[in-house]
Amino acid sequence: MASAVRDFSRSEGVPVQQSPTSSGRRAPRSAANTGLIFAFSAYGMWGILPLYFLFLAPTGAFEIVAWRVLFSLVFCGVLIASTRAWRPLVAALRSPRIVWTMGLAGVLIYINWQTFILGTLSGHVVETALGYFINPIITVLLGVFVLHERLRTAQWVAVLISFIAVIVLSVGYGTVPWISLILAFSFGLYGLIKKRVGGHLDALTGLTLETMWLTPIAIIQLVVVSLISGLTFGTVSPVHTIALIGSGVLTAIPLLFFAAASRRLPLTTLGLVQYLAPVLQFLAGVVILREPMPPERWLGFGLVWLALIVLTVDMVVTGRAQRRPAIDPF
């Protein structure tokens, strides 16, 4: 955890974890192994979020998101104070371009959070998982239409299979899977914006700016909820209150772990680990929450997984080819 916190305030160099040896001394753990630990921790925590938010009952989705925003901001402030990482935040606040860009990122992540929690609490955990399965395909499409990138044949095949999958799932659900598509597009656009400012902004500063923008919205939501149904914070039990506070911590820590993992792992490895989160969400929905999975939904998910396999194989093969040294024929 301490190593991950240091990664927020370091722009160069990779701090290396230490592990005890048989002689009692501490030998360095490889950066790749440490990165995998951070990656699995981040995506594992994201994978259990549906169960965590269901544990917050009887709190509604709008109150949960509001407290998530406010306590995320508080936790970010604590981290910045404890690591004395004020300089990146002050520098970012002096740049109107970064501030406004992170405001747009905040809107997108707010849409993502609100949709995710509404879907979870309304019994659509499997559909939320589908959104994050589709997300890599949406990212590829955004690369084409926004960044004007050229797709390889395998990537076009994956996109076509995913399009067919959405049609099959629309038939299976009886309607377009809006929850999945909103999650996929909002997170895809959010990732695109973060990529644009990634070289100028660390994860902690970025999340701090995003939650600062969202704080007025969170306060308005709490006021509206208090007038309509009443707030549940502090009224259910001490454990429930701590869990609501923990929603902010559970928002920031996976991002911290992800930032630490991204410094240590190649993009292909990180791309493979990312499927852990939707897999855990899917298992929670089907195995634990017993959400219905008729044959047409299995077929749709199967097509999505096939598209991801095609995309992943292409990513791995391309990554290896790019790392392979050129052979001088002379």
DSSP code per residue over 273-304: HTTHHHHHHHHIIIIIS-----HHHHHHHHHH
Strand partners, 26: 20
Based on its alpha-carbon atoms, the radius of gyration of the chain, rounded to whole angstroms, reads 21
CA–CA distance, 162 with 112 (Å, rounded to integer): 21
Q: Is 20 inside a domain boundary? A: no
Three-class secondary structure of residue 57 per DSSP: coil
Q: Is 172 inside a domain boundary? A: yes
Residue 19 phi, psi (nearest 5): -130, 145
CA–CA distance, 202 with 255 (Å, rounded to integer): 10
Q: Is 19 inside a domain boundary? A: no
Q: Look at residue 320 in the predicted model and tell me its pLDDT.
A: 65
Q: Is 3 inside a domain boundary? A: no
Q: How many domains, in total, are found in the chain?
A: 1
Residues 6+ apart with CB under 8 A from 84: 9
CA quadruple 300, 303, 304, 306: dihedral, nearest 10: 160
Q: Look at residue 7 in the predicted model and tell me its pLDDT.
A: 58
Q: What is the DSSP letter of 325?
A: P
Q: Is 164 inside a domain boundary? A: yes
Q: Is 306 inside a domain boundary? A: yes
* Mean of all residue pLDDT scores within the chain: 83
CA–CA distance, 120 with 79 (Å, rounded to integer): 29
- Tell me the percentage of the chain whose pLDDT exceeds 70: 86
Read off the pLDDT of residues 272-321 as tens digits, 9 standing for 90 and up: 788 889 999 999 999 999 998 888 889 988 998 998 888 888 877 776 66
Q: What is the DSSP letter of 233?
A: T
Provide the domain limits for residue 154.
32-320
Read off the pLDDT of residues 180-214 as tens digits, 9 standing for 90 and up: 999 999 988 988 887 777 667 788 888 899 999 99
Q: Is 193 inside a domain boundary? A: yes
Q: Is 180 inside a domain boundary? A: yes
Cβ neighbours around 288 below 10 Å, total: 12
CA–CA distance, 60 with 76 (Å, rounded to integer): 24
Cβ neighbours around 132 below 10 Å, total: 23
Q: What is the DSSP letter of 27?
A: E
Continuous segment of H or E residues that includes residue 248: helix 238-264
Q: Look at residue 173 in the predicted model and tell me its pLDDT.
A: 75
Quick one: which of 69, 77, 71 has its CA closest to 113? Answer: 69
